[in-house]
Structure 1
């Protein structure tokens, strides 16, 4: 059955389950672990498929298939959990299309290109600036979410982390680049802006349906752009096919679980776990890709960024915090 979004309060047993402290900790940590694993997984996919740093069209095709599959998987999850899939009316469909264009298509153009030009450790740390961009944007967009001394200090910690991770090369010196670290930060900014818009859209329709549509639409745009520019994945082998399926499923699972946690808990409580994404991303990149995480600047950046995320999300107001994933992986 395809129908309009369900109305009314969520079922009591569902709320009771997803509000249990141990469930919140376990599922939020799982989401952050999945998002953190995307950094080394994407870079491994580049290697398996022979996608070079300069082959931007093939990167777009790679991302397009991932998010189209992820959207279909979220739609399947919505069907299994709710026995329905919302088809938004024309006005909302235009909003979802705009959200997919920016939150999925544009953001991941920057993210996939940037990740090819930097390490997984650096990317996972720099992408955590999404949280700080959200705080700064909320200051100008929400009257009840102005920049406080605590939030200002947290943003300064985040900035210090960005400077620390590039301390061995200058902000964009010999060891850093606009296409690498610069694009990762641009992806974080696009995500934070799109997520605030997505919060407004989600208030008018079912969050899972919105996620499914925007992922699928964004994936289709990436596919069209990539194939139109001559991109291709070539011949998919078993390993690369399984990795692509994993990337699609991790997005679908993490999006769905995070949305359910946000639905049944204060946003500030759930968002506090966002500091685990750069932590998991850096550790898994070090283990999976044999990258150096033990450099003083990487460790200092991790401490500064994670501390800033915890500080800025502590006691966050549910009404103002954007209901978004903490990272684009």
Structure 2
């Protein structure tokens, strides 16, 4: 019996490089969003304008994904008629529900608690893939990897502030539900990409999700001011973050078990802290706490990836 040829995106070195590129791009979104609020004159308390801003970013990301994908595949990317419901489901869980809950939740909790709770999306992804959808087997090393990686997220966010006890449904509750929504989007993407092109799914779900968020943000009173070339360039870069990272992430999910890829999501927070320190000159980005967090996250990624190989559903 011959062993099936391994796809390029299943090779360990390629997975690590591509996944780290994705998480570095997502990590750069943290300082970019903060910078964007300044350039577009969006107050931190104006949730409607933040949703409108995010909608513009994702709608543009959809256009760029479709454009780049069409050039790369030398054909215009058009979803199949049967792909319509899949695009809708992904746009709801990956873009609309996740970010609406995220922005509302963050407005009712601290940034530190929000960052830590956001890291639960990795735990949710692996547990749902293994225990509910049965896409792969669960193991003690996967559990240990998740817990160690999550410990790294907690440590990188422990700055002595914003960790007071307390729980509100519209604050911490919405942040957890946002993480759950993102986790479900990864599971659905894994399923849908077995029959559909991941780049096409990415492009059109961003397009639809961004449009819905633009309507919601605008209808609820959101307003943004585009001032100068720098604000336009920043918006384009933020759209490219989503277009490139999510499309590449989707292709990794297509050819690998969910746990092998989603565990790299812990690195997003680490990159976010490092890049915020570098770009925004925030204190505490470079130091023993961040180094320890990086070590723990890498240990977590290693433990999950050393689990007994499970066949990919892609």
Which TM-score band (shorter chain)? 0.7 to 0.9
Which of 202, 210, 213 matches 2:204?
Answer: 213
1:317 is paired with a residue whose SS is: coil
Is 1:100 matched with 2:108?
A: no
From the superposition, tell whether residues 265 and 195 of structure 1 become closer, same or farther in structure 2 (CA, over 3 Å).
Answer: closer
- TM-score normalised per structure 2: 0.80
Which of 83, 97, 122 matches 1:131?
Answer: 122
Conservation of the 8 A alpha-carbon contact between 2:263 and 2:301: yes
| Gap regions ≥5 residues in structure 2 | none
From the superposition, tell whether residues 111 and 211 of structure 1 become closer, same or farther in structure 2 (CA, over 3 Å).
Answer: same
Conservation of the 8 A alpha-carbon contact between 1:95 and 1:201: yes
Aligned twin of 2:75: 84
Aligned equivalents of 2:290, 2:12: Cα separation in 1: 32
Aligned twin of 1:317: 310
Is 1:242 matched with 2:233?
A: yes
| Gap regions ≥5 residues in structure 1 | 1-11, 324-329
Displacement, 1:81?
A: 1.3
Aligned twin of 2:25: 34
Is 1:293 matched with 2:281?
A: no
Conservation of the 8 A alpha-carbon contact between 1:99 and 1:194: yes
Which of 83, 87, 102 matches 1:111?
Answer: 102
Matches within 5 A, 1:194-273: 194-261=185-252, 273=264
Root-mean-square deviation over aligned CA pairs: 3.5
Aligned equivalents of 2:216, 2:77: Cα separation in 1: 27
CA deviations 1:170-217 (Å, max 9, x no partner) are 85538x987776654443221001211222222221111111111111
Which of 39, 52, 55 matches 2:46?
Answer: 55
Conservation of the 8 A alpha-carbon contact between 1:111 and 1:183: yes
From the superposition, tell whether residues 101 and 127 of structure 1 become closer, same or farther in structure 2 (CA, over 3 Å).
Answer: same
- TM-score normalised per structure 1: 0.77
Displacement, 1:302?
A: 4.8
Aligned equivalents of 2:154, 2:14: Cα separation in 1: 36
Matches within 5 A, 1:178-197: 183-197=174-188
Conservation of the 8 A alpha-carbon contact between 2:23 and 2:264: yes
* Larger displacement relative to structure 2 (177-186 or 282-291): 177-186
Aligned equivalents of 1:43, 1:88: Cα separation in 2: 34
CA deviations 1:261-315 (Å, max 9, x no partner) are 5566777765565443222111001222232335776665554445334422434
Is 1:284 matched with 2:270?
A: no
1:85 is paired with a residue whose SS is: coil
From the superposition, tell whether residues 272 and 163 of structure 1 become closer, same or farther in structure 2 (CA, over 3 Å).
Answer: closer
Which of 300, 308, 311 matches 2:300?
Answer: 308
Give the number of aligned pairs. 305
From the superposition, tell whether residues 286 and 115 of structure 1 become closer, same or farther in structure 2 (CA, over 3 Å).
Answer: farther
